[in-house]
Amino acid sequence: MQALNVEGNLNINQLTLYNLKLDEVVIGVNAISGRLDFSPIQANLYQGRYSGTVSLNTETGVPIASINSSLQNITIEPLMIDFMDASYASGTGNLELSLTGSGVNTPGIISSLNGNGSIELSDGILSGVDVGEVLKQVETMISSRRLLNVARGEQTAFDNFTGTLEIRNGVVSSNDMLIESPGFHVAGRGTLVDLNNDTI
């Protein structure tokens, strides 16, 4: 890296990266004195657009990576199926991330990632629980003063799903998740994703 001296642009018509399908990829490359910058990075994917920058600085001994990413108007379900081989949500979404990490390999950098971001999904479905049905069952328990087994249901349609993201050592969490759906709003907080073991 210290001796690498490169300046140019890379244009790729179609690219598959971690099973993600990208089109019309444009990457600016600049490497000098132990610093490698990919800027700008632009691509079309899943009916939306990606733009961002990635920098790797080896002047400090242990390489430091900096990542800034913006996903706009992405169709969420096919992206999750390709990337995680599972679908937890559908809809159209925006995702903003600003991260830094350090390490001598990819797992090391991932486990040290820190930063913040935001997520906005609209007109979609959240899999794994029917919030409206759960609330109805809770209301029934309150009015009847009897404890009942609560069935989780299968999915929740929502108008908006928003939250700010905090990333600490590769773990993504949120303290202000909000799901807005006809008839109810749900606020929550907790861990969303652990990048160290690829779990949601």
Match 């018509």 to its residue by tokens.
13
pLDDT in tens, 130-162: 888 888 898 899 999 888 888 888 888 899 999
Q: pTM score > 0.75 for this model?
A: yes
- At 144, is the secondary structure helix, strand, or coil? helix
Match 């903003």 to its residue by tokens.
96
139 CB contacts (<8 Å, ≥6 apart)?
none
Q: How far is Cα 103 from Cα 109, in angstroms, rounded to an integer?
A: 5
What pLDDT was estimated at residue 150?
86
**Based on C-alpha coordinates, what's the Rg of the chain?**
20
Match 């606020």 to its residue by tokens.
187
What pLDDT was estimated at residue 146?
87
Percentage of residues in the chain with pLDDT exceeding 70? 99
**Which residues make beta-bridge pairs with 89?**
126
Residues in the chain: 200
Alpha carbon 158 to its chain's center: 18
pLDDT in tens, 98-121: 999 999 888 888 999 999 999 999
User: Sorting pLDDT into bands at 50, 70 and 90, what band is 1?
Assistant: low
**Phi, psi angle pair for 134, to nearest 5°:** -60, -45
Region 188-197: what's the mean pLDDT? 89
Lowest mean pLDDT among 111-120, 158-167, 178-187: 178-187
Q: How far is Cα 187 from Cα 102, in angstroms, rounded to an integer?
A: 33
